[in-house]
Structure formats: C-alpha cells, structure tokens
Amino acid sequence: MGRSSDPPLVALSKGCPTYIQLKQYFEASWIHPNKPKPLVHAIFAIGIAEESLVPFLEYRASVGHCSMSGYGYCSFAGHANEHLLFHGTRQTCRLGDDERKPQLCKETSCSLCSIIRNSFDVSKCGKEHAFSRFGTGIYTTECSSKADDYSSGHPDPGFHTVLVNQVVVGNPLVQLRNARGITEPPSGYNSIVGVPGADLNYGETVVYDDNAIRPVYLIAYSTDYRYCWPGTPAIWPGTPPPWPGIPPPRPGIPPPWPFM
C-alpha cells in the first residue's frame, strides 16, 4: 500500500521504558552461540499512517481474541494474540546511522526502507531468499540473532538493523517440519509457528496476510565493535590501534567502550 509521505522515525531516549524493554528483549533473544553479542546503537519508533493502520486494525478485529502459551514468545501478547517479533532484511542505505536525522532512501533495492514506507508485501516472498520453509508468507522470529542472519547490505561492515513488528498471530498452526508448499494456513488458523526440535534450530512465525503485520520499531546495532561504526572508516580484524576516527580507550577499561 503506497503512502503520500514517508512515516516519521523518532529515536527513543535511552532512558525511556520502551527503549529499555526493547533493548532487553533484543539482547535476551540473541541466542546463537557463535555470534558476538550485539551493541545496540539506537532504537527508533516508526509512525504508522492512518491508511496503513486502519486495515491492520480491521484484520485484528476479524481475528478476535486468541491465546497461546510457550514457544518462546515475548510478553507483549494481547488482543488477537499479538506479538512483537523481529524481521531482518536487505538494507542498502545508512538508515540508523544518525539518531538525529533518520532518513528513508529512495533505492528500489533497499527492502528496509520499502517495508518502513509501505509495510510488508507477501507477494515479495522469495525474492531475496529462495528457501521459504513454510511457503509464501511473511517471516518473523522471536530470536533476534536469527533475524540478524537476514540483515545485510549496509555500507559499513558489522553494522546492522532489524525491524520489530506488531504481528497478529491469532490461532497458530504449530509445525515441527518444513512445509514449503503452503500459501495460506489451514482453515481455522491464522498463522504458522515453526518450533525448534526437528527441521528448525530457532523458532519462526509466518503470516500470510499483508494486514497481519506492521513494522513499529527499528533497532540499529553493531555485531562487532572492531570492524567499524557508522561514520568512521572500516576497521578490519587484526588492525592494531590507533584506529582512524576512534579515540583510544583509557588503560584498564575493558570493552565494550563508551564511545562505541
């Protein structure tokens, strides 16, 4: 769905409860054992225009009240079994680098800005990744480190963003095995939840209606403070200090360092 203007992005204060709660959720759900822990740089709230919000609310009302327990979901569940879930995608611009001036780009190859501007489009499933475990749908996960697998393309190595999305899960069909031929959930179900144990190592949730999901937050983070930070030259592993654009740490202070 097109919009007449770009939605506003507002950087959350690092002391506000929403920032703290989202940061804790993001860090606690980073569970891949071989990935370095992320350093959160900024969290932005994404404004939703009325023409985008109304069909989402209508879809939510049509689903009604549902409940679901377990499966690693966060504690944001509410009306129509809604959850805040992560989605990683391709980014070809520097959105998230500057907290003061978050600016969407116009590049057609930047999926991140396209999603923020127009929300999700289920017809684009498979355009970036050929493997779709549960068929043609919109994929999210409660595991931030899994979403990070799909965050790519930023001009600075080591810098990433993931979207936090409000997802109407409704009544989910729980799957342990791949089901690539699915185009919609079976009658009586609103989504598919893949749980670890058979074909999956980490959980994922798939919805099949564009109006079942809206992006509501953007988290900007670094996965390795040694590589680079937005606005500074790239720093490759093994490069000894002093590093260009980055002041040396004071003796005795272990990383992560405050200026990162």
SS3 content of the chain, % helix, strand, coil (to 5): 15, 20, 60
Is 94 inside any structural domain?
yes
Is 259 inside any structural domain?
no
Query: Which CATH number fits the domain that encloses residue 28?
Result: 3.90.228.10
What pTM was estimated for this model as a whole? 0.80
- The answer to whether residues 105 and 97 touch, using CB atoms and an 8 Å cutoff, is no
Is 57 inside any structural domain?
yes
Is 247 inside any structural domain?
no
Number of domains in the chain: 1
Per-residue pLDDT of the chain (260 residues; tens, 9 = 90+): 445 578 889 999 999 999 999 999 999 999 999 888 899 999 999 999 999 999 999 999 999 766 554 444 443 444 689 999 999 999 999 999 888 889 999 999 999 999 999 999 998 876 666 567 888 899 999 999 999 999 988 888 788 999 999 999 999 999 988 888 888 899 989 999 999 989 888 999 999 999 999 999 999 999 865 544 444 444 444 444 444 444 444 444 444 443 33
Is 181 inside any structural domain?
yes
Is 238 inside any structural domain?
no
Is 210 inside any structural domain?
yes
Helix (H, G, I), strand (E, B) or coil at 215: strand
Q: Is 208 exposed, middle or buried (0-12, 13-18, 19+ CB in 10 A)?
A: buried
Range of the structural domain that residue 144 is part of: 9-222
Is 92 inside any structural domain?
yes
